[in-house]
Amino acid sequence: MEEYSFYEGELTPDYKLAFELAIFNRREHLLLQSLTGWSSFYIINKKERSIVAAIFFNTKDRVAISPFKSPFGGIDFCEDVPNPILFNFLLFVEEILHRNKVTKVILKNPPEKYNNLLPAVTTMLIDHGYNKMEDISAIIEINAPNIESSLRHSDKRRLLKSREAGLTFQKLNIDHLRDVYTFIEECRSSKGYKLSMEFRDLEKTVQTFPHDFLLFAVFYNDRIAAASISIRVKRNVLYDFYHDHHKDFNYFSPVVMLINGIAEYCYMEDIKLLDLGTSSINNSTNVSLLNFKLKLGATPSTKFTFEKTLA
């Protein structure tokens, strides 16, 4: 275990990442969330001069949160980091934050399917005295070119009717961002909901990561019936950030065709996980929405938020 050490602060460029940082933990995205207030913590493999784990907190009013303004952030790490090292690293991070007068820590981890060691991290945080709040993500594991075999009979029938009626799935150029955003915003508004992100903030993020944001839509002639804004969180994970459909197409349930098309794209691009997100509305699980996602072939994956008040 002597080859590992813990570090706070910015590292010199000669340290290389031994794993892929999720987009929400990349420096460019952190600075979009806030230009100031960041603390960086790393586990270093001294022999390899490599970074094997990282976590980033933004502190405001003595509350340290990871991430500051993203669906999740939390700890990112190689899957071969020994558990005792991770356990002690979390203690190290907490001690530094406490020394810096932080009174509360909030940590939003990704869904546990993202990393095989995340369930172990959950246990470690509980052992360290953190309280956990649970949400459920729905994730499709991509092992076939489409999801049709996992659909219930009624959804297979809707998919067939959609095709017979002339509905088509398309991947759109990022130049259509405003059109897709406006469509989804109007669909949500008709149901009494608001999008969590203003267009100007989304546009700025897309301009920073132009290759990591993907647009998909289902069309009837030239009219959008359903659409998605998705984020390639990692090489092997696509996150369906926003999607919705117009009520005029309820009969066809065009989201079935939309998700089937996105799954096919994932298969072609060797993306292993399609994250359909949580099903929470106003901090409460929408059971019917979750069940709809599960009937599309998704499986539930727990997504935890941890909190601890520091004495």
Q: What is the pLDDT of residues 131-170, one digit of tens each?
A: 999 999 999 999 877 778 777 888 888 899 999 999 999 9
For every residue of 181-203, DSSP letters joined together read HHHHHHHHHHTT---SS-HHHHH
Separation between Cα atoms, residue 260 and residue 253, nearest integer Å: 12
For residue 242, what pLDDT band results from cuts at 50, 70 and 90? very high
Q: Is the pLDDT of residue 256 over 70?
A: yes
At 282 the pLDDT is 65
Q: Is the pLDDT of residue 1 over 70?
A: no
The structural domains of the chain, ordered by start, are 4-135+304-309 (3.40.630.30), 143-271 (3.40.630.30)
258-310 pLDDT, tens digit each: 999 999 999 999 999 999 999 876 667 788 888 989 988 899 999 999 999 99
Q: What is the mean pLDDT of the chain?
A: 93
The mean pLDDT of 218-239, rounded to a whole number, is 97
What are the C-alpha distances in Å from 61 to residues 90, 95, 102, 104?
22, 18, 8, 10
63-118 pLDDT, tens digit each: 999 999 999 999 999 989 999 999 999 999 999 999 999 999 999 999 999 998 89
118 Cα distance to chain centroid: 14
For residue 11, what pLDDT band results from cuts at 50, 70 and 90? confident
Helix, strand, coil percent content, the chain, rounded in steps of 5 = 35, 35, 30
The mean pLDDT of 197-206, rounded to a whole number, is 97
Separation between Cα atoms, residue 35 and residue 298, nearest integer Å: 37
Separation between Cα atoms, residue 37 and residue 39, nearest integer Å: 7
